[in-house]
Amino acid sequence: MTTPRTPARQSAVARFASPVILLALMWAVQLADAVLPGSFTGFGLRSWDLSGLGGIVLSPLLHANWAHLIANSLPFLVLGCLVAIEGAARFWLVTAIIAVVGGAGTWLVNAPGTLTVGASVLVFGYFGYVVMRVFAPGRVAHRIGYALIAVIVIVLYGTAMFVGVFGAADGVSWQAHLFGAIGGGIAVFIGRFPSPGRRT
């Protein structure tokens, strides 16, 4: 005998399925890249090359190797789920804004011809979003909750994020990290609508 899932449980599954699905897609792409001839990384974001602008969409799904993907996977899942708390639609909107802002900034600032791949643009974007979300319009109780989450996230990932922008190793795109975080901050204020006031 089966029992129907409650709406709250269904909503939670729908919300957190989104980052899981996106991460699973990254793993599927990396597996295909490992077994098929050639390399998919050539479809990444190539700076100052108009033909490489498609990499704004594709580069977050591509990774240089398994170690690169594994390093991105846990922070992507943790931070992505924190974004998905606000719903699946919000998660995909935030992801799109981060990809566009992070990709465009990287395309412009990186040296011409530089190839950039990896989900770290989204990881840094989600970090920026979660930290800045406390400043978004909303109920005081929600903002207090977001502030507590932001403090925990800063404690867990703040040092790594700082180093990823200001102390990135050779071959690591601090540009993608920086503009991803900027995209996350911008996404906080896009697509939000004030709650209707109470009638007296």
Number of domains in the chain: 1
- How is the chain classified by DSSP, letter by letter? ---PPPHHHHHHHHHHHHHHHHHHHHHHHHHHHHHSSS-GGGGSEETT-GGGTTHHHHGGG--SSHHHHHHHHHHHHHHHHHHHTT-HHHHHHHHHHHHHHHHHHHHHHSPTT-EE--THHHHHHHHHHHHHGGGSSS-HHHHHHHHHHHHHHHHHHHHHHHHHHHSPPTTS-HHHHHHHHHHHHHHTTSS--PPPPPP-
Query: Residue 52: inside a domain, yes or no?
Result: yes
Query: Residue 196: inside a domain, yes or no?
Result: no
Query: Residue 2: inside a domain, yes or no?
Result: no
pLDDT given at position 199 = 42
Query: Residue 199: inside a domain, yes or no?
Result: no
pLDDT given at position 97 = 97
Q: Supply the range of the domain harboring residue 95.
A: 7-187
- Give me the residues of the chain with pLDDT under 70, please: 1-10, 193-200
pLDDT given at position 5 = 53
CATH of the domain at 78: 1.20.1540.10
Query: Residue 195: inside a domain, yes or no?
Result: no
Query: Residue 97: inside a domain, yes or no?
Result: yes
Query: Residue 37: inside a domain, yes or no?
Result: yes
Query: Residue 40: inside a domain, yes or no?
Result: yes
pLDDT given at position 8 = 55
